[in-house]
Amino acid sequence: MEKIGFIGTGVMGGGMVRNLLKAGYSVNIYNRTKAKAEPLIQEGAVWKDSVSALTKSSDVIITIVGYPKDVEAVYLGENGILANAKEGSVVIDMTTSSPLLAQKIYEEAKAKGIAALDAPVSGGDVGAKNGTLSIMVGGDEAAFQRVRPIFEAMGKNIVYQGKAGSGQHTKMANQIAIASNMLGVCEALAYGERAGLDMEKMLQSISTGAAGSFSLSNLGPRMLKGDFAPGFYVKHFIKDMTIALESAKQMGLLTPGLALAKERYEELAAMGEENSGTQALYKLYRA
């Protein structure tokens, strides 16, 4: 089995690493804060002290970090992944990041005999924990087929989308769909609450009908319980919407629903909720 290097063991990465370990893979890990990785080390992951050390001792390197600037920092430069990866290795960025940056990494990797895939995910902390993530992949299909068993250890809906950048463009479409949907979910729950409905019964009815969605079924109950812990951070969702708006603008596409959702989430972040889960948007409707 390929030896995996995994960079970024946060809310999403931790669950993904655990599923790789369960599948029998040897996993090297690196995180900016070692203390946060200690539970994974105790479960069998091997700590490496730097990006370069992890890269040199791995066949497939997976990253899931915060922002495009973090992706650029970890891949490019003399201490980055591409400068230290072995020829013939595969690098997989599973961060939600810029399609243009994914294409740049692909081209620089190809020049060094390294295969690069952009493979962002959807499914939140629950999907990461349960190994049921939706994984959307861009890059060369041969590289995708080579590492497909690795993806299968972390997700269920795994789709090869096409050339480099296609995975990120697909994730942008995903985030655009979620953004407007989150407004609808919050408004529906606020309406039901204001009308004096039994909220559990209301949610039971509408979540299984035409209004059903992941956000309604999985985040709706958290909203009603006042559970705003992050499965996916508000600050990261704002980052995703910013990338999507920029990409849409480059293509000459108007996305007013996305723009409104971003404005509302920025309002939420200004209240000090940037590190809350995206379901904290409900607070704006209950204020």
Q: Mind giving me the DSSP string for 26-92?
A: -EEEE-SSHHHHHHHHHTT-EE-SSHHHHHHT-SEEEE--SSHHHHHHHHSSTTSHHHHPPTT-EEE
Pairing mode, if any, of strands 27-30 and 155-162? unpaired
pLDDT at 287: 67
Q: Choose, from 129, 171, 239, 262, the residue flagged as catalytic.
A: 171
If you classify domain 169-286 with CATH, what class do you get? Answer: mainly alpha
Residue 6 sits at the vertex; the CA angle it makes with 171 and 129, to the nearest 5 degrees, is 65
Encode pLDDT of 30-76 as tens digits.
999 999 999 999 999 999 999 999 999 999 999 999 899 999 999 99
223 close to 282: Cβ distance less than 8 angstroms = yes
| Spatial separation of the C-alpha atoms in residues 61 and 229, rounded to whole Å | 29
- What are the CA-CA distances from residue 234 to residues 56, 67, 192, 202, 274 (Å)? 34, 13, 24, 26, 5
Encode pLDDT of 69-120 as tens digits.
999 999 998 899 999 999 999 999 999 999 999 999 999 999 999 999 999 9
| Spatial separation of the C-alpha atoms in residues 258 and 272, rounded to whole Å | 21
Confidence of residue 280 (pLDDT cuts 50, 70, 90): very high
As separate numbers, helices (DSSP H) first and strands (DSSP E) second, the chain gives: 15, 9
Encode pLDDT of 220-277 as tens digits.
999 999 999 998 899 999 999 999 999 999 999 999 999 999 999 999 999 999 999 9
Write the DSSP symbol of residue 273.
I
Cα 254 to the center of its chain, rounded Å: 24
User: For the chain, what percent of residues have pLDDT higher than 70?
Assistant: 100
Cα 196 to the center of its chain, rounded Å: 36
Encode pLDDT of 183-207 as tens digits.
999 999 999 999 999 999 999 999 9
Delimiting residues of CATH 3.40.50.720 domain(s) in the chain: 4-164
Confidence of residue 286 (pLDDT cuts 50, 70, 90): confident
- Tabulate helix, strand, coil % of the chain (nearest 5): 60, 15, 30
Instruction: Determine whether domain 4-164 maps to CATH 3.40.50.720.
Output: yes
- What are the CA-CA distances from residue 109 to residues 197, 258, 265 (Å)? 56, 33, 35
Contacts 24+ apart (CB under 8 A), 256-260: 257/176, 257/179, 257/180, 257/183, 258/176, 258/179, 258/180, 260/180, 260/183
| Spatial separation of the C-alpha atoms in residues 48 and 9, rounded to whole Å | 13
Instruction: Dig out the tokens for 134 from the structure.
Output: 């939706």
The answer, yes or no, to whether residue 2 has pLDDT greater than 70, is yes
206 close to 187: Cβ distance less than 8 angstroms = no
pLDDT at 11: 86
pTM of the entire structure? 0.92
Judged by DSSP in three states, 208 sits in coil
Delimiting residues of CATH 1.10.1040.10 domain(s) in the chain: 169-286
What is the sign, positive or negative, of the torsion defined by CA atoms of 257, 260, 265, 266?
positive
171 in active site: yes
| Spatial separation of the C-alpha atoms in residues 230 and 214, rounded to whole Å | 16
Judged by DSSP in three states, 181 sits in helix
